[in-house]
Amino acid sequence: MKGRVFTELFEHVEKRYGADMVDDIIDAAKLSHDGVYTSTGSYPFEEMVSLVKALVAATGQSLPAVLEPFGTHCFESWVSYAPQYFSRDRSLFDILEGIDEFHEVEVRKLYPDAELPSFVPETRSSQALTLGYYSCKPLVPLALGVIRGAAAHVEQDVTLTCEPAMGPRGPYTRIYVNLTQ
Amino acid sequence: MVDSHSSESTASLDQVQRLERRLAREIGARKEAERLLEQKSLELFALNRNLAQLNASLEQRVQERTLELDRERHRAQEQAYRDPLTGLANRLVLQKHLQQAACSGEASSNVAVLYLDLDGFKAVNDSLGHPIGDELLCAVSARLRQCVRESDLVARIGGDEFVVLQMEAPQPRAGTDLAERLIRAVQAPFSIQSHQILIGTSIGIATASTASAEANSMLRDADIALYVAKAEGRGIWRAFEPEMNQQMQVRRHLEIALRCAVAEKEFEVFYQPLVQADTGDLMGFEALLRWSHPERGSISPAEFIPLAEETLLIKPLGAWVLEKACCDAARWPAPLKVAINLSPVQFVKGRLVDEVRHALSISGLDAARLELEITESVLLQNSDETLRLLKDLRDLGVQIAMDDFGTGYSSLSYLRSFPFDKIKIDRAFVQNLADGNGSLEIIRAVIGLGRALNMKVLAEGVETTEQFAALQAEGCDEVQGYLFSKPVALKDAWRTIANDQDRRSMLRSQHVFPQNLCLEGSVGAT
């Protein structure tokens, strides 16, 4: 996993829970390198698991409750990095459908070897969008947080549901995005 | 106080330690980032070097490909300018040289274009096969090259067509001298595999003095002269003359008119009576094709039949004559017969036997009443195949006559090769009967030959009663000529038939056996 995800997590934890919480989860995760991450380096995914577990333990919140806001944070950081992909003039569904392009064009430039998740639109109507979420990591709540971040960005209320699904590329998660306004 | 002070200092210590750890993390991250940066720099350097190497090798490949391409282009150009079979120049090169020669001003007057066409090549190709034909072309090419100088160009521009471009030689003498040499060179026997092959060549010559010295017109003029050379007997050369062009134009117009005439059916079949010599009875008619052009009027068969043969239009035309004449004859009282001329062209890869069978079948004419006339030129070409066709025709029950006997080669072996039913003595002998130059003796000999071989003998071109009397005296079986009737249209032929029948019934009633009697009425039927 790219170091950028770890530095983003620390930034998010510091903003949401304070700088001490960052120290605490690094201590609790018992990392071999004392939590030294650089954005372009690559680090074992297990370290992220340990850190998130430590955060769950430290906050007493559930895993989804911890991961979702982090997903929202990730979306906000993308907006500040490449605002042209996430203009508020575009509809929520257009923005969500454009995430893969943003990944492949902008993220790939900096991190050619990154393992990027993918949001593949399946069906779309004026009120509902079905997305296939493909990722080699079990981080569905993070994806839901990204979608909520996008909804908040365009001030759109949504309800999200998801279910496991199977496609030609193997198992994935189908996420239903319904507009509630 | 002490406790509160001590807990505050513990908290501060803890805070300091946290800050120290954070600082250590930041420093560690910075060092890690620097290490990664250096690593990336090294990678970038290696990539750069690889890129430079790749670029160099690409450059080298481009150079190699360019060279390869140049070589291919050169080879393609070579191929584009060479005749692949003989290695001679092709039409493209010839055109270039002709243009250069035409542009060279004074020098162009020393240029001759010799257009060659092999005589008898097609027969070699057909009978011995294409591989032998190809070898022969190569051998001819070699001989042509031996006849010319370095500065001349020899090109092959068609199947058996060659052009020699003679440069910088005093014309027209040099051109005709070269033509003589070329004709002799091609006439000498060729030995290809185990075959001894004899062919010849006809040549048309154009020089700047006769042509307009334009590249295309010189070639065209040489082609026209070649056409004349071939028409005049092959194995010879002819130099272009402006009149030839006019003749060609006339011929071209005639050909167009002929094609239209075939499509528009501007033809009519005329009939000339065939008369039993001793009784004067009408035996039948010879069918003769007439072309009535809407503007030019009647065009002579001597003018259009050779052209129809050359253009193969004789095939549909011949089939039409067969059908028409058989249908007309079927209505005549039996046993009146109809004689129809066949062209040698109808014997070549055609459906002659089927056409005859078809004509008999749709007309209902008894095959025994149909007589097909061939000239010996039919037998000159591929005689095995021709004899097979003649036998097939004979099997249909039709009669076969040898026409124009006495002209041409008149080889007696032709008479032996096929059991003709009739020999037709050419009109030239009849017309010269009175001259005492041997015509009578020849007619006598042919009549004797006919008796010996059990073939009837007919004399053509009988115009005077003296000629008729002489032929009767010699025992000629049948006669034909203006004395009895010129060729007439169908309705007049019917009148001739009616007159003949009247005459016969009158003779029967008088119990008189006629001698020396012409077809009364039929002479005036026209």
pLDDT above 90: residue A16 = yes
- Domains defined along chain B, listed by start: 91-240 (3.30.70.270), 250-525 (3.20.20.450)
Q: Say yes or no for a CB contact (<8 Å) between B24 and A41.
A: no
Question: Among A140, A135, A149, A137, which Cα is nearest to A96's?
Answer: A149
Cis before B170? omega within 30? no
Nearest alpha carbon to residue B485 among B279, B267, B286:
B286
Over chain A, what HEC string results? CEHHHHHHHHHHHHHHHCHHHHHHHHHHHCCCCCCCCCCCCECCHHHHHHHHHHHHHHHCCCHHHHHHHHHHHHHHHHHHHCHHHHCCCCCHHHHHHCHHHHHHHHHHHHCCCCCCCEEEEEEECCCEEEEEEECCCCCHHHHHHHHHHHHHHCCCCEEEEEEEEEECCEEEEEEEEEECC
Q: What pLDDT, in 10s, does the model give residues B165-217? A: 998 888 888 999 999 999 999 999 999 898 888 899 999 999 876 555 556 78
Query: Which single residue is written with the structure tokens 């004395």?
Result: B483
* ipTM entry: 0.75
CA neighbor of B400 nearest in space, from B371, B370, B362: B371
What is the per-residue pLDDT across A128-172, written as a single tens digit (0 to 9) for each?
999 999 998 889 999 999 999 999 999 999 999 999 999 888 899
Picking from B21, B22, B36, the nearest residue to A38 by CB comes out as: B36
pLDDT computed for residue B523 by the predictor: 39
Residues B341-378: pLDDT tens digits?
A: 999 888 877 789 999 999 999 999 999 999 999 987 77
Q: A41–B21: do the CB atoms touch at under 8 Å?
A: no
Say whether residue A23 is in contact with chain B using an 8 A CB cutoff.
yes
The stretch B265-282 carries a mean pLDDT of: 93
Q: Which two tokens stand for residue A143?
A: 């994806």
What is residue B214's predicted lDDT score, i.e. its pLDDT? 59
pLDDT at B107: 57
User: Given pLDDT bands bounded at 50, 70 and 90, which one contains residue B511?
Assistant: low
pLDDT digits (tens, 9 = 90+) for A69-110: 999 999 999 999 999 999 999 999 999 999 999 998 888 888
B138/B141 Cα distance (integer angstroms): 5
Average pLDDT, chain B: 87
Q: What is the pLDDT of residue B349?
A: 73
3-state secondary structure of B397: coil
pLDDT above 90: percentage of residues in chain A: 79
Q: Count of CB contacts below 8 A, A vs B?
A: 28
CA distance linking residue B25 with residue A3, whole number of Å: 14
Return the amino acid letter for B466.
Answer: E
Q: Does A34 touch chain B (CB under 8 A)?
A: yes
How many C-beta atoms lie closer than 10 Å to residue A101's C-beta? 10
Whether residue A34 and residue B32 make contact (CB cut-off 8 A), yes or no, is: no
Residue B485 has pLDDT above 90, yes or no: yes
- Check whether B381 has a pLDDT greater than 70: no
List chain A residues with CB under 8 Å of B28: 33-34, 36
What chain B residue is nearest to A22 in terms of C-alpha separation?
B22
- CA-based nearest distance B18→chain A, Å: 7
Q: Kindly tell me if the per-residue pLDDT of A180 is higher than 50.
A: yes
Confidence (pLDDT) at B525: 31
- C-alpha to C-alpha distance for B366 and B353, rounded to whole angstroms: 16
3-state secondary structure B465-511: HHHHHHHHHHCCCEECCCCCCCCECHHHHHHHHHHHHHHHHHHHHHC
Tokens 């198992």 belong to residue: A171
Q: Looking at residue B516, what is its pLDDT?
A: 41
Give all strands (DSSP E) within B277-433, no chain letters. 282-293, 297-299, 337-341, 370-374, 399-405, 422-425
Query: Which site among A37, A38, A42, A113 would you substitute to test the B interface, given the most B Cβ atoms closer than 10 Å to its Cβ?
Result: A38
Provide, as residue numbers in chain A, all residues whose Cβ is less than 8 Å from the Cβ of B32.
36-38, 41
Write down the pLDDT at residue B409: 63
- In this structure, the strands spanning B282-293 and B370-374 are unpaired
Contact (CB, 8 A) for B251 and B306? no
Specify the pLDDT at position A54.
Answer: 96
